[in-house]
Structure 1
Amino acid sequence: MSSPASQNPLIYPLLFIMPVFMSSNIIIGRYAIEQTEPWTLAFLRWLLAFIILLPFAHKQASAAMPIIRANLKLLLVMAFLGMWICGALVYLALKYTSATHGTLIYSAAPIVIMVLEWLFRGRRISPREAVGIILAVTGVAIIVTKGSLANLLTLQFNWGDLIFALCMISWATYSVLIRQKALQDIPVMMLFATLAGLGALLLFPFSIMEMIFVAPLPTSMPAWLSIAGVAIVASVLAFSTYQYGIKMVGASIAGLFMYLLPPYGVFMAVVFLGEELRAYHFMGFIPIMAGLILATLPVAALRRLGNSQAQCLTRSCPTPERFPTARTKTPAYNRSRTRYRSKPTDRP
């Protein structure tokens, strides 16, 4: 059975880029929430995301609609977890707590994902994955505590932190549910467009009440640019790459790349917000990367690659089976320049 990396060699580089899109939600959202209320911002975010995705997903609608109708309740639950809670409540939490606290709480999502899969799917956590998680958590703790144990011991939680904890548990549950076999036949774009549309539908009544009783729609160009930013970068790109990663390597492995949120977030804060880069940022980044590599590196594939390279160095490099040469004897090939007698089972 082929590994996900052999099926798509770009899956792991894609997962390394995914946290950039995720981190942008805090950077852009921090600015947007000053001009737009939480439920209105979340509603506009997912409405615009749905409109953007619709042209890419409509061709797949006819084949996917029977599956969507059969699993509508599950999709509504996922839209509530991933778009309602992890949308509006994240922006609400940013009004009461810092992005650092939110990042620390969200970093526990992979652990919750593994626990949920252990509880409900009987998944076993290997020693290599456990060590990788410990290393990654250590790196996250170094960054969010600025390399000081005293900061860790004096860390206090407020209402914003508790809301972030709820969002983290909701995100972990969403990540596990999206691996349901019933949803595997729905194309990624169609699945995400459906969830974005359902999420906007669930957020709509709360947004209307917010616009009536709290604040109307924003009118400034910077506010709408920030809304477009969270819709395109933090929604379409972030969720599409994350969902594709979950389908390819599983929720536990894809969730581990969430540990890259702190270093990516710090880098973006330095570039876009003018914050200073300090030594503890590098001290935390090293164990995070070490933990990710230890827990996700496809060792078997590297061994096969190493063996192949070693054979090539000794002038006994094997001929690929996909491209038979004149010296390669295959049962389907006739030397008299006739056609293949049987249909090839593996085409280049």
Structure 2
Amino acid sequence: MKLKSYLLLTVCIFFWGSNFVFGAILVKQFSPMLLSAIRLSFTSLFLIGYVLLSRSSFRLHLSDWKLLIPLGLIGTLANQTAFFTGMKTVDGTTASLIMSLAPITTVILAWLFLREPLTKRVAVGAVLAVLGVYCVVGVGKPFRITPGMWLIFIAMLTFAASIIMMRRLTERINPFSATMYSTIIGCAMQIIAATFVEPVSAISHAPLWAWFLAIATALLMQGVCGLLWNREIKEIGASQAAIFLNLQPFVAMLVGFVLLGTPVTWPQIGGSVLIIFGVMVATELLPRRGEHFLAKPSGEEKISS
């Protein structure tokens, strides 16, 4: 049932939107690559423990490794390194704005590589949501491109690419196995890269609360939410799932207000409503009024390559 998938994706986005705030806190206590390696290590242990307890296993074929290795390299190593390095100099709301480009990027990639239709409803919903994102984090603020913003842009691009690769991978193996193997491979790559780039001894200076926060966010946001997300991509498709990513700036704004006292403006509130409306349009959660404009297009109306 699609409604169940939408609810689970919304839960994932709530925790991932919080990750912008928690990530900004954690990069002040850990170096970026070591932080990523720590979180991925605990995520991998969580997934391996689940396999042992459930006694479920899946044998990989050579063709699966052709997607798993690039997925670990692009979707984990490049994505996590770019994200946490960028978060050292970019605030959470700006990072969430850049990451909100992922839905449009994913829709285009899904159209190009997965032949998923680019429907009128999805296109209208995406445009509305992006306008809402601009209201949330862009109205009344000066904008200039910094190196940190470029890194967050790379994180967005690699995340969108990983959605496409995961969608293709779950056509051959179950979502849990795809999540587990890609996480473990990416974790191994991240640990190797971190030990060469950053001094491992630096982690001993981090306070106990930072360790607890890093482990908790790894298990919940990367472990549980990553598993749910990849499972629902298989159910509803990459392009529709990616539309939910537009909710991240709204969540980042809300969590920032609650935890850090970041002020909330009326343009941000209006933009948040527009984001939610855009997601509802794209995912067909709105009533069927205006059917002549927002209904699913016929075969002739679909944009084909």
Give the TM-score category using the shorter length. 0.7 to 0.9
| Corresponding residue number in structure 1 for 2:160 | 172
1:33 and 2:27 matched: yes
Name the residue aligned to 1:248.
Answer: 235
- Out of 97, 100, 106, the residue aligned to residue 104 of structure 1 is 97
**How many Å separate the matches in 2 of 1:300 and 1:176?**
30
Q: CA deviation at 1:219?
A: 4.5
Task: Give how far 1:230 is off.
Answer: 2.6
TM-score, structure 1 as length reference: 0.77
Aligned residues: 287
Q: State whether structure 2 residue 11 is matched by structure 1 residue 24.
A: no
Determine which structure has greater relative contact order: mean sequence separation of CA pairs < 8 Å that are 6+ residues apart, divided by chain length.
2
Identity of matched residues, %: 23
Q: Tell me which structure has the larger Cα radius of gyration.
A: 1
Cα distance in 2 for residues equivalent to 1:45 and 1:301:
43
1:60 and 2:56 are equivalent in the alignment = yes
- Matched residue, 1:10: 4
Q: Deviations over 1:146-181 (max 9, x none)?
A: x33xx3xx411110111111111111111011111x
- Structure 1 Cα separation of the partners of residues 94 and 147 of structure 2: 11
Find 1:264's aligned residue among 239, 251, 256. 251
- Please say which of residues 207-216 and 87-96 is displaced more in the overlay: 207-216
Q: Which amino acid aligns with 1:292?
A: V
- Other structure's SS at 2:202 match: coil
- CA–CA distance in 1 between the matches of 2:98 and 2:126? 15
Going from structure 1 to structure 2, the CA distance change for 1:78 and 1:300 (only over 3 Å counts) comes to farther
Uncovered stretches (5+) of structure 1, i.e. residues with no partner: 303-348
Asked whether the 8 Å contact 1:40–1:210 carries over to 2, the reply is no
Going from structure 1 to structure 2, the CA distance change for 1:171 and 1:165 (only over 3 Å counts) comes to: same
Describe the shift of the 1:66–1:196 C-alpha distance in structure 2 as closer, same or farther (beyond 3 A): closer
**1:143–1:281 contact (8 Å) kept in structure 2:** yes
Q: CA deviation at 1:290?
A: 1.1
Deviation at 1:37, TM superposition (A): 0.8
Report the AA paired with residue 13 of structure 2. Answer: P
1:275-294 paired onto structure 2 within 5 Å: 275-294=262-281
Q: Which amino acid aligns with 1:164?
A: I
Q: CA deviation at 1:234?
A: 2.2
1:72 maps onto 2:70 in alignment: no
For 1:158, the equivalent position in structure 2 comes to 146
Q: Conserved in 2, the CA contact under 8 Å of 1:218 and 1:224?
A: no
Alignment partners' CA distance in 2, 1:292 and 1:106: 16
Q: 1:223 to 1:111 in 2, by over 3 A?
A: same
In structure 2, give the amino acid aligned to 1:82.
Answer: G
Instruction: Give 1:200's aligned residue.
Output: 187
Q: Which residue of the partner structure matches residue 292 of structure 2?
A: none
CA distance in 2 between counterparts of 1:247 and 1:169 reads 20
Give the alignment's Cα RMSD to 1 decimal.
2.2
Mapped partners of 2:237, 2:110: distance in 1: 10
Cα distance, 1:272 vs structure 2: 1.4
Q: TM-score, normalised by structure 2?
A: 0.87
Contact persistence 1:57–1:189 (CA under 8 A): no
Counterpart Cα distance in 1 of 2:231 and 2:98: 24
